[in-house]
Structure 1
Amino acid sequence: MKPAHRHRLGVAVTVALTTGLLATPAIAADGTDVTAPQVAVSSTDFPASGSGSTSGKYAGETGTFLLTGTDPAPAGGTASGVACFRYALNTTLGVSAGCGDGALGAGPDGTATVALRVPRWGTNILTVQAVDHAGNVSQPASYTFYARSNPNPPQAPGDVDGDGVPDILLPDAAGNLQTISTKAADTTPSSVLAKAAAPNQISWTGFQLPHRGWRGHAPMDDVLAHAPGSSALYFYYNADYGTFQQRPSVVARPSECQDAAGAALVCPADYTRDWSKADQMVALGSLNTQPSPSLLTVENGDLWLFPNPGLQFRLTTARKLTGSGAWAGYDLIAPGADATGKLALWARERATGALHAYAIPKQANGTFDFSALADPSAGVVAEGFTVEAFPTLGSSGDGNGDKAPDLWAVTADRHLLTYNGLTDPKDLGLLR
């Protein structure tokens, strides 16, 4: 049987049932089953705390848990048998009527296996209840285990959930935020962040979500969030594999300006002290030897660079890269660095659907040359990416492991496409 995929409480879950459909209740002719079942949990991937085992997988990895239910026979009757399990990782079980939505069906032997990605380093608790065919519910069983921190975690700029693969962040139809791996075979998210975690606590829809790089924690992207026209820019510190347990902080706007070469400049009169003029925003990539991100915006038709932020994304300077106002008609795409460390910027010309690429070479003194960004009409590399056909274009870096950055796109009918570079689109299917 193929695994069934479910998402529960913001944790990506792959469920492999030991059997198929739930069986018909077996109720004795001379008595009704009113005896509650019992449940136990075990795992070799994440051994129980106190078991003496020092092995096990690391936080951020997926482990298999065996759920075992037993249903004692009622006095004078026959046990109805274990029907399903309800479970929750690091949170409380929700109120549910028996084997409703989110329950995991049990096999004839009263067992089921569930594969859970464990995002939290340290002590974790998996809470499980068994439900029998008569509707009796067991007492919750708490399986406590310790997930070790990986001493050599995988690193990939663009990766949000800590698996070493760049991710695509897109809201679902309900406003929750989906993390979809660039190596995914379909649009099933690896995790879902509830809409209540959005800056407005209502929905992630409409927010720009640049991410490429991290500061001061394990190698997974911090995430910025900004709604065009909003004065506020929010910073989500990602030390917990994309679960974002901390509330976001507000990023202050720098008060000092520089020119394209980094020399001090009196801030222009139209330079605002908030983020309301930032129509677009992308994470360009690291501009030094650290994995820290840099931020690129379009404001009043010009490019502004906010380089090398400190811890918690503290910005100190704003660098004005262009002055012609010609970038107003372009959608920015940040592909990140290639295998040699060279940076680039891509952009879609909204009026024509042409895709442009601009090199940002590193100079002998260690700084980057942004002169190619002076003329956005240069460097056409592809055609046909019209706004009507592809409302959203983006790049999370190297999605297929060939050491070169790749494009992704969302079509007008909400299909997600991933590309090999800029060609060979693969349709992953309809977004949720």
Structure 2
Amino acid sequence: MAVAVPVGLSLTEEDNTPPAGATPEFDAGAPVTATEARLRAAKSGKNVEVTTEATANTTTWAQPGGTFKLRVSSQATRAKVGNTWKPIDTTLQRVAGGFEPKAVNGRLVFSAGTKAQPGSGGERASRGLSRVALLRPTAVKADGPAPVWSELVRLTTDGHDIVVSWPGPLPEPVTSGPRALYENVRPGIDLVMTAQDSGYTHALVVKNKQAASDPLLGQLNYRLSSPDLTFHLDEESRSVSARDAQGVEIAGSPTPFMWDSAGKAAVTQGEPEAQPVPEAKDHPTLALSGLNGAEGNHAKPAVATLSADNVLTVTPNARLLDDADTVYPVFIDPSFKGKKQNWSAFYKTASTTSFWNGQNYNSGSGTPEARVGYESTTGGTSRAAFIFDFSSQIHHSTISSAKLRILQTYSWGCTARPFDVYLTPLINTSSTWKNTDTAAFWNKRIASATTGHGYNSSCPDAWVGIDVKSAVEEGARAGWPNLTLGVRSPNESDPNFWKKFLANGESAPYLEIDYRKAPDEPTKAGMNTVPGGACVTDAPFNKVGKSDVRFDVQGRDGDGNLKQIQLKIWRASDNKSVFDQWVWPDSSGVAHTTIPWESFGANTTYSWSATAGDHDGALSGVGPAGTDKPCSFLVDHTQPVKPTIRSEDFPAPGPDGAEWSKNTLGPGKITVIAGGTNLADIREIQWSLNRSTYDKKAVPAAGQDSVTVDVNPDNAGPNLFYVRVVNKAGNLSDPFIHTFYVRPRPGVDTAGDVTGDSKADILAIDTAGDLRVYPADATGDIDAWMPAATDGGKPAPSGYWKDAGGKTALIAHSNDWYPGDGITDLIARMPDGKLYVYQGDGNGRFDISRRTEILLPAGAPDPATLSQIVVVPDIDGDKTEDIFATVGDTFWILTGYSGATITEARQLSATSWTKRDIIDIRDITGDGIPDLLFRDDSTPERGLALRRGKPGSNGGADINSLALAVNSADGKDLTYATTGWDSTTWPLVRGTPDVTGDGIPDLYLTRNDGNLHLYRGGRDTIGIGSRVDEDDWATTRTIG
């Protein structure tokens, strides 16, 4: 005779299983996506598993016709071991620290046993033990051994640990399959642990009635502990739940229950009885039939309480233990079981008792079978319900068929009797007969089946398929996370209607669903307007201003079958449609469409939604997902007022250009004032420096109409500060453009620099005959200009650089010419026919009142006849700057400048220069010797020519090598660029010292479309070019 007392524990796992009722396919190869499986199925004509969607209780197959088959089991049928799916295998194996099953969901380790060290009472416990009261204090003998806690089992799942401890030492267990037997934990009492997927059961086996009088059974204490879960007791059902910080139930313990061994297991007639395991020969507890359950026993609930320090106390029913009719063993079961992929039995005789996953019903392992109907032997009436997790893959899919498949293992006879299937509310560990026996719980009958299986060999166990398409369609359409189906008898007073169905393991009930996969419902995060932003479904809505509105919708289809996205836009007040079309997505699945701003009325709210469709005609739900409200936005066409600025660091130049920055080139502050715009409506201030990109943002503090920004110009001389106000609707104010001049840092100008920032600049004469300076930035880009001529500190007269007949000065600059102050000067052949040097002030301007005429020697050409001039640093090695010039067809060099006169004028060539333009004379090839670069309109196939110089005797270049091609380093002119460089396309061209940072001189050109371009120089051929300014360069008279 024996008594069994079970304590089981199981944790909630994530949805990680294949379909029950079928053999899972364990493919160790590369993962197969829905898209790939769909293609393979179409090609092979066979079902192909979508391994990337495999979970512990679901399997998905792509079918040849383009549909998918999904099997969802109410129990896990496989577990991931490492990275490989394997069939559930609860066979125990020895591991460090104990025994664990081979393949289950969640980690489970049974104790390897603990032993108290020898000694007198009060001795120190061995490792794994901690002192605790075994019984209530009044039951502890003063001279007894010191009681201890021993870690009995540890479960880990989804990052959560739960430890259940036993009140005393534990011997080393005997293992048999999934069971671990701890013999004689107390005199005449064994402990049996049985591994299950995601948990275990625990049975205390009391071997005779004398053992039942052990003080241990007065009140059984089990310590529950977890680092991040809390334990809660339901007062009515006495069930215990373990919950995370958000209150989500991770594990549950149904009502503690007791029963004896008076019953007999109901099996199909003709089937052999189960044989004891081999280990039972030496360990008879393993052969007890009560471990597997029986009908017709004597049963009573036990009482459970939970202390503040998480000690679960189970008080056995003393009347059952002492009753003369009790047949040992008796089972007492406070167990734990996971929350997901579960089922529960409802038993009228124990109406407030929870039989979560069949735990506590008939045995320490729980019953593996669900029961429905009235059973006359015990007078009990049963019902059951099963949870099926709904994967999002079938949400909004088209369901072609859905069957509940359930294995019937017993009936009262072979005569078929009906049972009903209901769509019920979700169950949990506290669900009992009493709290589910309501019209609200059982109000939706969806199917019925008439069967008679499992009574004998004439009507053996058989699978039953029931059409539950209506319930699955409802769940798929609404996007339910799970589906709960209840089974019960239509006649709960006639035992002929009583049935049993297998509820655990590989043959647990499962749903088999054929569906056509629908695209995912568009989400808020994937639905955006520009301007406006992400989808908003509740007021206050985003505002959209007086600009075209782009609608973006991210479409997704798990099987790669996305076709189009339907975008609907309507006026919220009367549902008048603005747009209703199917839009093709791009390669990333995003559909874009832009609606003109004129389509939207001012001060009006508009709503919009999106639906994804695939090539098979399946449609997603109407997005945005998770709500029945559409996205909405408010149209506001109110334009903000143009801002103003103030700045002590960077004041405006004033009418005469006399105001410059407070400090030399470096950072400063500008305050933007958004006065005139409703402060609550200001979204941001947008600004940029020298380009109208408005790529920087600032937001005034609450209640303030101004904000101060840090500005750090790169260029000395003129700079432009662009700024505008943006309101919350996205409307833009007119821009305010603030011009300011920045003082250069002290120092000597570098080649080509006139503003003092060490960057080469461009000088130009505009159509009015005024001189401008265009400072270049670190990449050669042109952002702003300022007047470049003064007259004794005042602005120079307008039109100074051309005469009344339109004859324009020729200009050039490179270095300091006079008076040797290190500041770049300007050389100009003026309309009066004379050649002058204009002294630079280092700030990018030249004083016309301080010009000096340059006198030419005898034999030199008349300055009035010069066609072009190019000024360069010393070329011939005489330590003075040089001028290269053309006069009609002749090519000249003017050298030896002494402060007032040129000492030598030398004609280099007498022919060919009428159709040529001097671009530059600098070292281009990188050998340290100046080279000549020129445009040659007379040979279109060689638009730009390079003449490589030879070294001169005094340093620099041999002037003869630059004079004629035959004298050059190569004996000929080289092609620097081929066609397309003619003066009709590119009216003005001028070389410049390196402005792109590669050490090679570059060149600026004006194009006949009015834009200025910069081309990078190359060592032997021209580099890439880009547009650097969009002012009207078509009217520019000359550059230099």
TM-score tier after normalising by the smaller chain length: 0.5 to 0.7
1:248: how far off? 4.7
1:367: how far off? 5.7
Percent identity over paired residues? 18
- Is 1:331 matched with 2:917? yes
Alignment partner, residue 64 of structure 1: 668
Q: Which of the residues 132, 156, 166 maps onto 2:760? A: 166
List per-residue Cα deviations over 1:141-172 (Å, max 9, x = no partner).
xxxxx97962x55x531112111111122344
User: In terms of mean alpha carbon deviation, does 175-184 or 419-428 score higher?
Assistant: 175-184
Q: How many Å separate the matches in 2 of 1:171 and 1:163? A: 22
- Is 1:410 matched with 2:1011? no
1:40 and 1:254, CA in 2 relative to 1: closer, same or farther beyond 3 A? Answer: closer
SS in 1 for 2:986: coil
Alignment partner, residue 223 of structure 1: 826
Alignment partner, residue 839 of structure 2: 237
Q: How many Å separate the matches in 1 of 2:929 and 2:947? A: 11
Map of 1:39-118 to 2, 5 A cutoff? 42-43=648-649, 59=664, 61-66=665-670, 108-110=704-706
Q: How many Å separate the matches in 2 of 1:245 and 1:379? A: 40
Alignment partner, residue 255 of structure 1: 857
Map of 1:331-370 to 2, 5 A cutoff? 331-338=917-924, 341-353=928-940, 354-366=943-955, 368-370=957-959
1:240: how far off? 2.5
In the alignment, is the contact (CA less than 8 A) between 2:780 and 2:1014 conserved in 1?
no
List per-residue Cα deviations over 1:233-257 (Å, max 9, x = no partner).
232211332122453524232224x
In the alignment, is the contact (CA less than 8 A) between 1:417 and 1:427 conserved in 2?
yes
Q: How many Å separate the matches in 1 of 2:923 and 2:879? A: 11
2:955 maps to a residue whose letter is G
1:402: how far off? 0.9
Q: How many Å separate the matches in 1 of 2:798 and 2:928? A: 33
Q: How many Å separate the matches in 2 of 1:251 and 1:149? A: 30
- Is 1:423 matched with 2:1023? yes
1:225 and 1:320, CA in 2 relative to 1: closer, same or farther beyond 3 A? Answer: same
1:241 and 1:22, CA in 2 relative to 1: closer, same or farther beyond 3 A? Answer: same
- Is 1:309 matched with 2:309? no
2:760 maps to a residue whose letter is P
Q: Which of the residues 856, 865, 881 maps onto 1:293? A: 881
1:424: how far off? 0.7
List per-residue Cα deviations over 1:236-294 (Å, max 9, x = no partner).
211332122453524232224xxxxxxxxxx3xxx44x411111111132237798531
2:784 maps to a residue whose letter is P
Q: How many Å separate the matches in 1 of 2:743 and 2:983? A: 45
List per-residue Cα deviations over 1:36-69 (Å, max 9, x = no partner).
xxx99655x99xxxxxxxxx9964x244245599
1:335: how far off? 4.5
Q: Which of the residues 165, 186, 193 maps onto 2:788? A: 193
1:68 and 1:355, CA in 2 relative to 1: closer, same or farther beyond 3 A? Answer: closer
In the alignment, is the contact (CA less than 8 A) between 2:780 and 2:996 conserved in 1?
no
Q: TM-score, normalised by structure 2?
A: 0.27
1:391: how far off? 0.8
In the alignment, is the contact (CA less than 8 A) between 2:816 and 2:823 conserved in 1?
yes
1:394 maps to a residue whose letter is R
Q: How many Å separate the matches in 2 of 1:115 and 1:159? A: 20
In the alignment, is the contact (CA less than 8 A) between 1:417 and 1:425 conserved in 2?
yes
Q: Which of the residues 379, 385, 390 maps onto 2:986? A: 390
Q: How many Å separate the matches in 2 of 1:186 and 1:149? A: 21
SS in 2 for 1:326: coil
1:199 and 1:363, CA in 2 relative to 1: closer, same or farther beyond 3 A? Answer: farther
In the alignment, is the contact (CA less than 8 A) between 2:865 and 2:887 conserved in 1?
yes
Write 1 or 2 for the structure with the bigger share of strand.
2
SS in 1 for 2:913: helix
SS in 2 for 1:368: coil
Q: How many Å separate the matches in 2 of 1:253 and 1:358? A: 30
1:198 and 1:349, CA in 2 relative to 1: closer, same or farther beyond 3 A? Answer: farther
Q: How many Å separate the matches in 1 of 2:878 and 2:641? A: 53
SS in 2 for 1:235: strand
2:788 maps to a residue whose letter is L
Alignment partner, residue 630 of structure 2: none
1:335 and 1:427, CA in 2 relative to 1: closer, same or farther beyond 3 A? Answer: farther
1:112: how far off? 5.5
Q: How many Å separate the matches in 2 of 1:410 and 1:349? A: 17
Alignment partner, residue 78 of structure 1: none
Q: How many Å separate the matches in 2 of 1:169 and 1:400? A: 18
Q: Which of the residues 832, 841, 866 maps onto 1:278? A: 866
2:1003 maps to a residue whose letter is L
1:167 and 1:40, CA in 2 relative to 1: closer, same or farther beyond 3 A? Answer: closer
Alignment partner, residue 962 of structure 2: 373
2:825 maps to a residue whose letter is D
SS in 2 for 1:165: coil
- Is 1:320 matched with 2:906? yes
Structure 2 unmatched runs, 5+? 1-638, 652-660, 676-699, 719-741, 967-971, 1033-1040
SS in 2 for 1:247: strand
In the alignment, is the contact (CA less than 8 A) between 2:883 and 2:894 conserved in 1?
yes
Q: How many Å separate the matches in 1 of 2:960 and 2:878? A: 23
1:199 and 1:406, CA in 2 relative to 1: closer, same or farther beyond 3 A? Answer: same
**Higher Cα radius of gyration:** 2
1:211: how far off? 1.0
Q: How many Å separate the matches in 2 of 1:289 and 1:65? A: 47
SS in 2 for 1:213: coil
Q: TM-score, normalised by structure 1?
A: 0.59
Q: How many Å separate the matches in 2 of 1:375 and 1:175? A: 36
SS in 2 for 1:371: helix
Q: Which of the residues 760, 771, 774 maps onto 1:179? A: 774
1:64 and 1:367, CA in 2 relative to 1: closer, same or farther beyond 3 A? Answer: closer
Q: How many Å separate the matches in 1 of 2:988 and 2:763? A: 12
In the alignment, is the contact (CA less than 8 A) between 2:769 and 2:798 conserved in 1?
no
1:346 and 1:185, CA in 2 relative to 1: closer, same or farther beyond 3 A? Answer: closer
In the alignment, is the contact (CA less than 8 A) between 1:326 and 1:375 conserved in 2?
no
In the alignment, is the contact (CA less than 8 A) between 2:812 and 2:828 conserved in 1?
yes
1:288 and 1:157, CA in 2 relative to 1: closer, same or farther beyond 3 A? Answer: farther
Q: How many Å separate the matches in 2 of 1:275 and 1:57? A: 42
1:160 maps to a residue whose letter is V
In the alignment, is the contact (CA less than 8 A) between 2:717 and 2:744 conserved in 1?
no
1:409: how far off? 1.0
Q: How many Å separate the matches in 2 of 1:333 and 1:214? A: 20
1:149 and 1:386, CA in 2 relative to 1: closer, same or farther beyond 3 A? Answer: closer
1:187: how far off? 3.8
Q: How many Å separate the matches in 2 of 1:192 and 1:408? A: 20
